[in-house]
Structure 1
Amino acid sequence: MTLSRTRLTCIVLASLLFFIPGFAPAQQDGLAARPPMGWNSWNHFHRNVDDATIRAQAEAMVSTGMRDAGYIYINIDDTWQGTRDAKGNIQPNSKFPDMKALADFVHSKGLKLGIYSSPGTTTCAKFEGSYGHELQDARTYAAWGIDYLKYDLCGLRDQMKAAPTPETANKIMVDSYIKMRDALRSTGRPIVYSLCQYGNDAVWRWGTTVGGNLWRTTGDINDHYARMAEIGFGQAGLSRFAGPGHWNDPDMLEVGNGGMTAEEYRQHMALWAILAAPLLAGNDLTTMTPETIAILTNRDVIAVDQDAAGKQGDRVSAEGPIEIWTKPLADGSKAVGVFNRHPSAMTTQVDFARLGFSGPVKAKDLWLSKDLGTISAPYAVTVPGHGVLFLRVSQ
């Protein structure tokens, strides 16, 4: 596959910028030093979101222990926008009567507030986009106290389709993200910049150059095992593009929305942790079962995702439906996920030598929070259907 002219230019510029005195790449701006953790309204509430819903989710984030486990962003997705005033300033619609007051409330809970827009004239849901009003919108967000912006390509697609060449279309896309990056930075307020453009033109190669702190690598997730697995396991090979301040984003979590089994949700959560993916819950935090809370707040699993080394894991081997993924951790240990993509239980063997270890290893089962002591290869394991054996392994 050949690189587009736009993508090649971005890659070359990214390489050159590191040698320019005073240039600070995304990972040095202090934002998203670790994968962002929080909640987003879209997966569960879609259009049915309002001020009361956001306040209730913020309160539940605290009362359920989610905040203390590391989840801090409460992100409003599409459909909050109203019209613009006579000066072109965006106004929230009647569902959000006072966005500044809402931000103040969220902040009072020790949390941060995120918002959503599009570089097009409209958003995915056909609400007001930011095209032609980037600086105004950025200043409005800063005045409200916004901490995170999800910027969704949807509304720009028609303009891109009308472009005479794919290269021109990609330039339109890249330029639109640069424009909002500059607008956000001009406000002086630290706002995490989330690029939502579905992996177009291999965004992982140029997302940092346009200021992205995270970028979507795929289309939308949904609450079905097949889609979650397609997206999650499809991240193989992308680990070298992620790091502190700039993360690959395989989309939000579906844990607790009811479309998968507990085993499937544990696989989902473990895979996202190995991927150093943003952990943005997408369920109703006010109605969580103890099982859902346990999955989302497992400290050992979260520690893998949030590890200080900031390295994304990758696939080591695949044998039929069994995939083994590892992630190097700051203390020299490794997270090891033995994933079973088959609906029935499967037995396999783990050869720790192939994972970079020599001789016996020490292991902890992260879902059981159980030390397994010293184990030797080959280590025979049975993994439940659509399940995972998730270990932290050290020499």
Structure 2
Amino acid sequence: MRYWTWLPLLLIVAGVRAQVAMKPPMGWNSYNCFGSAVHEDEVRANADYMSQQMGRFGWQYIVVDFLWSYDNPPGSRIGNPFQLRLGDGSYVPWLAMDEWGRLQPHVNKFPSAFGGKGFKPLADYVHSLGLKFGIHVMRGIPRQAVWAHSRVMGTKGIRADAVADTSSTCPWMNQMYGLDMRKPGAQEYLNSLLALYAQWGVDLIKVDDISRPYSAAEIEGYRKAIDACGRPMVLSLSPGETPLADSVHVKAFGNMWRMADDFWDSWPELLKMFDYARKWEGNGGPGHWPDCDMLQIGKVSKRGPVGPERYSRFTEDELITHLSFWCIYRSPLMIGGNLPDNRELERRLFSNAEVLAVNQDGVNPRQVAKGDGKMVWVSDAGGGAVYAGVFNIGDSARELSVELASLGIRRAAVVRDLWRQQDGGVFKKRYSRMIPAHGCVLLKIIPR
């Protein structure tokens, strides 16, 4: 790709993006517990819980995922994400949409949107709690807007069918066409979308079906629209695998991007995430973060989308490994479980300020060892100290050691266990610990 062609825009972006995602975003996303069928009262309940129980630890985003304009049948789990096309070319069920071809929250799910208010009442409520509000959107323009020849706001007579790329479709949902960003009116359509989201008070947009295959022109279009809307917003790109070959471009235009496809509560998937992270090592930093996907912690799949309603299938040791790795890698932390269903275990995991500081304050996360069932990641903690995660990826408990010199520590150091929140003593050359199968220790090592 000829990156010099978008260098002028990159210089503009650098100034705007300084306002958002300087540290990995932390919050909650509705998808893993509600699929496409989350309702406003459930979003508010999660916002209430976060405000009361978690806000003081840095959690702040409440994100409504997946098909909020779609009317799920009563009692449905995830619902059928496909629309039927009738003989006259129209679509059912009809997505909630305004005259400009912009999708709206369906009032059966979000009653406060009645009367054309959109997400503003819900966003206002989330903001009143001291939190930030985000939404999921699908790349492109609704097919029903193309059928309806909806006008494109900000143009003289251009309509949806003139800007759609009808050959660009999502393989797992038939509701959208891509935008041909070379056509007059395509950027104006995105500008009108982001202007609407700014009016609602949106702080984050997660754009789906845009990273695989990598849709560079549309990603640039969303970034331009965010810059033009007058409201800082985090731009999250989904799903993975985002191509590593596009790392320079995605860092220039996205704030967070998925490294892998949807992640669920499976140990093999967690092992694979270590591999994805190693490939993307060195690409994270203020304003741009490789994303390991949502945290599979707590009550998931209450209404779909994968498997029965359950608490995470990870063991407690695997849960600690899961969150510890997301933290030391500095992935965005978006909780997938329903917060009001949290038990003491989940409350403890989400409220350890020393562990969360690894995610928010560590610098330059990197793998320093892997082999024989052991993996070690480290990041800089300032003042010569380091954070270190020692992971037992084997299937049996055993004593694991880490040489302090391999972490850049060449003198005696205090080793602090961050999950236990206590110092473990002073060590000169190595630190050893019995670690359960699939478990880990997360440390802060401070030279004396």
TM superposition score category, shorter chain reference: 0.7 to 0.9
Alignment CA distance shift 1:130-1:144 (3 Å) = farther
Structure 1, unpaired ranges of 5+: 1-5, 161-169
* Partner SS state of residue 240, structure 1: coil
**Contact map agreement 2:419 2:442 (CA 8 A) in 1:** yes
**Contact map agreement 1:350 1:381 (CA 8 A) in 2:** no
**Contact map agreement 1:27 1:33 (CA 8 A) in 2:** no
Alignment CA distance shift 1:318-1:304 (3 Å) = same
Q: TM-score, normalised by structure 2?
A: 0.77
Deviation at 1:379, TM superposition (A): 2.5
**Contact map agreement 2:282 2:366 (CA 8 A) in 1:** no
Which of the residues 37, 54, 57 maps onto 2:26? 37
Which of the residues 101, 105, 112 maps onto 1:92? 105
Match of 1:370 in 2: 422
**Contact map agreement 2:330 2:365 (CA 8 A) in 1:** yes
* Partner SS state of residue 363, structure 2: coil
Counterpart code for 1:77: D
Deviation at 1:220, TM superposition (A): 1.1
Counterpart code for 1:304: V
Distance across 2 between alignment mates of 1:367 and 1:356 = 22
**Contact map agreement 2:133 2:201 (CA 8 A) in 1:** yes
Which of the residues 184, 208, 220 maps onto 2:251? 208
Distance across 2 between alignment mates of 1:357 and 1:34 = 26
Which of the residues 399, 402, 411 maps onto 1:347? 399
> Could you report, residue by residue, the CA deviation over 1:288-323 in whole angstroms, capped at 9, with x for unpaired residues?
01111111221111001000xx63411101122110
Alignment CA distance shift 1:249-1:188 (3 Å) = same
Instruction: Trace 1:1-395 onto structure 2 (pairs within 5 A).
Output: 6=1, 9-10=2-3, 23=12, 25=14, 29-63=18-52, 65-81=53-69, 82-93=95-106, 94-97=108-111, 98=113, 99-121=119-141, 125-127=173-175, 131=179, 132=186, 133-153=189-209, 170=214, 173-202=215-244, 203-209=246-252, 211-256=253-298, 257-307=311-361, 311-395=363-447
**Contact map agreement 2:101 2:141 (CA 8 A) in 1:** no
Distance across 2 between alignment mates of 1:335 and 1:282 = 26
Q: How many aligned residue pairs are there?
A: 366
Distance across 1 between alignment mates of 2:104 and 2:175 = 11
RMSD: 2.3
Distance across 1 between alignment mates of 2:231 and 2:249 = 23
Q: TM-score, normalised by structure 1?
A: 0.86
| Bigger Cα Rg | 2
Counterpart code for 1:108: S
Give the stretch that moved more between structures: 322-331 or 269-278: 322-331
Counterpart code for 2:104: Q
**Contact map agreement 1:204 1:248 (CA 8 A) in 2:** no
Deviation at 1:360, TM superposition (A): 1.7
Match of 2:72 in 1: none
> Could you report, residue by residue, the CA deviation over 1:8-61 in whole angstroms, capped at 9, with x for unpaired residues?
x23x668x669x9x6452785211110000000111211220111101110111
